[in-house]
Amino acid sequence: MAARGIPMNNALVIVTETSIIFAALGLSAYASLRRSDVLPLLYLGLSAGLAIAMSIVAELAFIEGIRNVLIITGFTMLGARADEKAMRLAFTLCAAITLVVLLIEVASTEAYASLFRPADYLAKTRGYAIKEFYEDTGLALGTIVYEGRFSFGLFDGPRTSSIFLEQVNINIFAIVLMIYLTSMWDRLSWPERALMLITIFMIVVTNNARMSAIMAPIFILGYFVFPRLPRYANALIPIVLLGITFIVFEFERVRYGDDLIGRIATTYRALTRLSASDLLFGNHDLIARSGDTGYGFVMVSTSIFGALAYWAYLTLIVRPDDVIRRRTIWAMSTYIYIWLLIGGTGSFSMKTAPLLWFLVGYVRVTDFGGKDASARLTRSGRNWRTLTPA
């Protein structure tokens, strides 16, 4: 719309995003509340209370944290009201749209930039100056492929963005598709599997996406391993990751940079600089500067209590009662906790988070009939079986 001359600014984006969030909540309420909504509503209520208390103490509104919780809980509840056909159709359409736009971008960067004008849109909605972007191509600054930057060597153009217009969220989208495949592989048709795999492959090699490339073998192995892991042991992932991080940097020199070690070092530095007040009451001034450190962002935007509530929600939202649920909860937890260690706010993005939580909401209330049945049902994909949510 912006590229076609429609006036665009950050306020319009905020209004649109808010409308989508409350549409999800409204649709859920319209379908009537149910027992499965208790945990999401408890998490939302606790987060709202924390946001109000932190805002009173700081005399500033803590919006970011509650916004993220609204996305998580709203689409968890919406997914709980979807049947399998709706859920699969949502992922199929999103993957197809992303792949089509990506193919246009790969075939002709000039045509893609002319069609969507990413730099112009991001400048108007995020306040970035045009000079921060490719002035000659109109692409985002992050699409630049500089010397020494990780690359598969299969694509020599700018890092791709597709419908997302910037390079980070298309990377996350590939990971969300991997989680979907890890969870639902046995229930998908071969055309669906092929679409997801082709889309993931194209994103990874044209975006030179490090995190999705790292996560792919983890999920392939996890498809077989996740169902065998102890129940609720996914709660230990952040404890192990942060414990190892603090131990390593306690003895090694902290090195910053745009690589895996440098990103982890950024999180380490942010966490070690938090004061007791930051942990207990958050820090509004640090929110905007914590975009490259996920754990730091959660702490300063929701306090230590909000971080613990998020950890509890991720642990309890899906009961690990069958194969599909275990694969889903472990894949989701692995992605989120690792991303919070090396990235920032990307896992809360409106561009990708709703799709992930829509899947989680569907999986948590659906009876897949046990381990054997989940592997048998709809293996051919010709029958879009509708399952009634609990």
202 Cβ neighbours under 8 A, 6+ residues apart: 99, 102, 103, 106
| pLDDT value of position 16 | 93
**156 falls within a domain:** no
Compute how many other C-beta atoms are within 10 angstroms of the C-beta atom of residue 381: 15
31 Cβ neighbours under 8 A, 6+ residues apart: 81
**248 falls within a domain:** no
Domain count of the chain? 1
Mutual angle of helices 323-342 and 167-184, in 10-degree steps = 160
**136 falls within a domain:** yes
**303 falls within a domain:** yes
pLDDT per residue over 72-130, tens digit each? 999 999 999 999 999 999 999 999 999 999 999 999 989 998 899 888 888 888 877 67
For 19, the domain range is 10-145+165-237+298-375
DSSP codes, 160-202: P-GGGSSHHHHHHHHHHHHHHHHHHGGGS-HHHHHHHHHHHHH
**62 falls within a domain:** yes
Q: Is the pTM of this model over 0.85?
A: yes
Residue in 109, 115, 165 with CA at minimum distance from that of residue 137: 109
Question: Which residue ranges in the chain fall short of pLDDT 50?
Answer: 371-390
| pLDDT value of position 289 | 83
**336 falls within a domain:** yes
**266 falls within a domain:** no
Residue 185, CB half-sphere, CA atoms under 13 Å: how many? Answer: 15
Please give the torsion angle defined by the CA atoms of residues 349, 354, 355 and 359, in that order, rounded to the nearest 10 degrees: 130
The dihedrals phi and psi of 202, each to the nearest 5 degrees, come to -65, -40
**313 falls within a domain:** yes
